[in-house]
Amino acid sequence: MIDDQFSSLTDKILYSLKKLTNDSVKFVVNTHWHPDYTDGNINFGKLGSEIVAHEKVREHLTSVQFIKFLDRKIDPYPNEGLPLITYKDSITFHINDEIVNIFHVPNAHTDGDSIIHFIKNNVIHIGDVYVYNRYPFIDISSNGSIDGIIDAVKRVIPLFNDKTEIIPGHGNISNSNDIKNYLFMLEDVRRNILSMINSGFSLTEIIDSKPTKKYDLIYGQSLLHLLILLKQYTTV
């Protein structure tokens, strides 16, 4: 299983899984460390699931974290919620007649993002590197960066074709055109802002110029998304 959301949702997840299989969850793969993706680790760890993640995820979960943008402190997880299997660059599972390649993309949404590629089934789970029809949330407190987001998307593009199903961190299942349009937007906005910086514009002037305005009708759901995130982070 990929990610386990907030711990309060574990029973709902298990109920849904029972509709698919009577087997228990052997592995949980965390795409990154944020609580809306890992808070359920503790429950699934107690149930016997092996938590798998990039080594940076374990590093974050073993110490106090603070997400500046959300003004939220996160305490360390107990042992049951920590990844027991970690990797530096990549790891591959051969399971249920499927090859699952998991690889790290550095300093993107965070410094510990992973992308999961189900090779035979032609499915890619991209985590919060990409969110459907929204601007990305780049967690600079966790060493995320716009350059890392762009590099991560570029790394994924050669892996898919017109039939690939791409699962975002939030939002609808997407296709190759969605990802290519997302990459075009990211590079265009970065290029425009960098040009203004190099021309000596102040931060206030750059903000006032609304550098994303031509994309806001498509990706402008981000504000609502962030408000939902704020509510989730303050109620768990």
pLDDT in tens, 208-219: 998 899 999 899
Percent pLDDT > 70 in the chain is 93
108-116 average pLDDT score: 97
In tens, the pLDDT along 7-62 reads 999 999 999 999 999 999 999 999 999 999 999 999 999 999 999 999 999 999 99
pLDDT exceeds 60 at position 226: no
**What is the C-alpha separation between 114 and 214, in angstroms, rounded?**
30
> What would the pLDDT profile of 56-80 be if each residue is shown by its tens digit?
999 999 999 998 877 889 999 999 9
d(CA 134, CA 217): 10
pTM of the model: 0.89
CATH of domain 7-235: 3.60.15.10
Tell how strand 50-54 and strand 85-87 pair up. parallel
pLDDT, mean of residues 164-170: 95
Average of per-residue pLDDT across 134-155: 95
Structure token pair of residue 65: 């974290």
Q: How confident is the model at residue 139 (pLDDT cuts 50, 70, 90)?
A: very high
Domain boundaries, the chain: 7-235
Mean of the per-residue pLDDT values of the chain: 92
Q: Which DSSP state fits 117?
A: E
Q: Looking at the chain, which runs of residues are DSSP E strands?
A: 27-29, 50-54, 65-67, 72-74, 85-87, 90-95, 98-105, 113-118, 123-127, 165-168
As a whole number, mean pLDDT of residues 83-103 equals 97
DSSP of 59-83: HHHTS-EEETTTTEEEPPPPGGGS-
